[in-house]
């Protein structure tokens, strides 16, 4: 048998009842259907509920209703004067309400604070009243602890159920977009969170379906290295000391912003090749990379015959003069790093 409860159940009596009446009728069928359906009848099994009769002077009587059919305004097989109250006569238009009563709490909450009769809980039917939150009823016998999980939350103010964690990758959840394997994001922490690893170029093994790196291998393959070369081995992308750039032909058409100029200046990157690497922290300018230019030497030449000075200006460096232009510079490489903040990068397994 089950003690039933339901939200927002109330009505008025359709007629007078005496202090020994075991039947009453409420104002309308729609009002009656706000109350639970009771099936206990005159026996000792089935469902029942407690209701409270109250008049304008706030006199009350708690009754136990053991029979009420759906679509029927009559309640019968009523036990009177329950839960410490006294049976009395009631007039038409006095109120009948479904209030929390002591018997309700004693049925479900034991003296030690644990919940009784909590197995096999079902939701009461609230299909006809969209303003109600679900409430629980049970058909269990005996006292059992309420079965909950440490990852489940319930907001009693809003009726919202929540979960703090899921098992698996969430792919079977509807209305929830899970993070696919292979997603790379910057991360400010010092340890990779669960389900992620650092992008440090480590060699790993694909393993079988369901193993740690299986889904990641399916997403990136050996694009970033084949590991140690064994069957199923592959490498995690290595972002140590590197910045990432968008693939130049992403979507099918090259933007020609990374065009591998390594054949002329070194350290080139082919922007059309996923996983290609290049660039350098420092760079020393070579003669090939210097703009084409000339040097001007200012000086004078003396005539070998008469000693008359001959003026010479705007001559190129390779003119035959007695003194060469002096050398400057120290051939040191220059810093090639843009303004930077250092973060970890992690990839979703």
Q: What is the pLDDT of residues 156-204, one digit of tens each?
A: 556 566 666 666 655 566 666 678 999 999 999 999 999 999 999 999 9
Asked whether residue 106 is assigned to any structural domain, the reply reads: yes
The verdict on 188 and 121 lying in the same domain is no
The verdict on 99 and 197 lying in the same domain is no
Q: What is the pLDDT of residues 115-137, one digit of tens each?
A: 555 444 444 444 444 444 444 44
Average pLDDT taken over every residue of the chain: 77
The verdict on 131 and 230 lying in the same domain is no
Separation CA 230–CA 204 (nearest Å): 10
Whole-Å CA distances, 44 to 5, 77, 181: 18, 11, 58
Asked whether residue 214 is assigned to any structural domain, the reply reads: yes
Residues 55, 94 contacting (CB under 8 angstroms):
yes
Q: Give the residue from 114, 138, 162 where a domain finishes.
A: 138
Q: How confident is the model at residue 111 (pLDDT cuts 50, 70, 90)?
A: low
Burial 113-142 (b: 16+ CB within 10 A, else e): eebbbbbebeebbbeeeeebeeeebbeeee
- Total domains present in the chain: 2
Asked whether residue 299 is assigned to any structural domain, the reply reads: no
The verdict on 198 and 344 lying in the same domain is yes
Q: How confident is the model at residue 146 (pLDDT cuts 50, 70, 90)?
A: very low
Backbone φ/ψ region at 77: left (φ over 0), alpha (ψ -120 to 50), beta? left
Asked whether residue 147 is assigned to any structural domain, the reply reads: no
**Which residues, 6+ apart, have CB-to-CB distance to 139 below 8 Å?**
1, 2, 47, 120, 122
**Count of CB atoms situated within 10 Å of the CB of 21:** 16
Residues 294, 243 contacting (CB under 8 angstroms):
no
The verdict on 14 and 75 lying in the same domain is yes
Q: Give the residue from 138, 158, 192 where a domain finishes.
A: 138
Range of the domain at 257: 180-279+340-349
Q: Give the residue from 138, 172, 188 where a domain finishes.
A: 138
The pair of three-digit structure tokens given for residue 290, joined into one six-digit string: 């210097």
Q: Give one DSSP letter per residue of 186-217, joined into a string.
A: EE-SSSPPTTEEE-B--EEE--STTSTTHHHH
Asked whether residue 290 is assigned to any structural domain, the reply reads: no
């Amino acid at each position: 048998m089950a003690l039933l409860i339901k939200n927002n159940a109330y009505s008025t009596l359709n007629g007078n009842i005496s202090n020994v009446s075991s039947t009453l009728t409420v104002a309308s069928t729609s009002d009656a259907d706000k109350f639970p359906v009771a099936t206990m009848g005159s026996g000792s099994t089935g469902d029942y509920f407690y209701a409270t009769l109250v008049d304008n002077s706030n006199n009350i009587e708690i009754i136990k209703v053991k029979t009420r059919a759906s679509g029927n305004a009559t309640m019968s097989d009523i036990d009177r004067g329950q839960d410490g109250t006294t049976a009395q006569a009631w007039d038409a238009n006095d109120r009948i309400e479904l209030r929390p009563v002591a018997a309700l709490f004693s049925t479900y909450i034991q003296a030690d604070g644990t919940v009784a009769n909590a197995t096999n809980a079902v939701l009461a039917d609230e299909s006809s009243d969209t303003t109600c939150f679900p409430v629980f009823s049970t058909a269990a016998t005996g006292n059992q602890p309420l079965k909950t999980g440490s990852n489940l939350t319930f907001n009693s103010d809003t009726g919202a159920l929540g979960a703090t964690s899921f098992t698996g990758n969430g792919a079977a959840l509807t209305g929830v977009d899970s993070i696919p394997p292979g997603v790379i994001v910057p991360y400010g922490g010092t340890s990779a969170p669960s389900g992620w690893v650092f992008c440090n170029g480590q060699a790993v093994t694909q393993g079988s379906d369901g193993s740690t790196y299986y889904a990641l291998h399916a997403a990136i393959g050996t694009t970033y290295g084949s590991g140690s070369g064994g069957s199923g081995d592959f490498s995690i992308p290595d972002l140590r000391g590197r910045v990432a750039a968008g693939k130049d032909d992403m979507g099918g058409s090259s933007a020609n912003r990374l065009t591998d100029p390594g054949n002329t200046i070194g350290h080139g990157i082919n922007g059309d090749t996923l996983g290609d690497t290049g660039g350098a922290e420092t760079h020393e300018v070579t003669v090939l990379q210097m703009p084409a230019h000339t040097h001007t030497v200012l000086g004078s030449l003396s005539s070998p015959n008469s000693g008359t000075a001959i003026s010479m200006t705007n001559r190129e460096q390779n003119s035959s003069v007695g003194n060469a232009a002096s050398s400057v510079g120290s051939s040191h490489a220059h810093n090639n790093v843009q303004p930077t903040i250092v973060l970890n990068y992690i990839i979703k397994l």
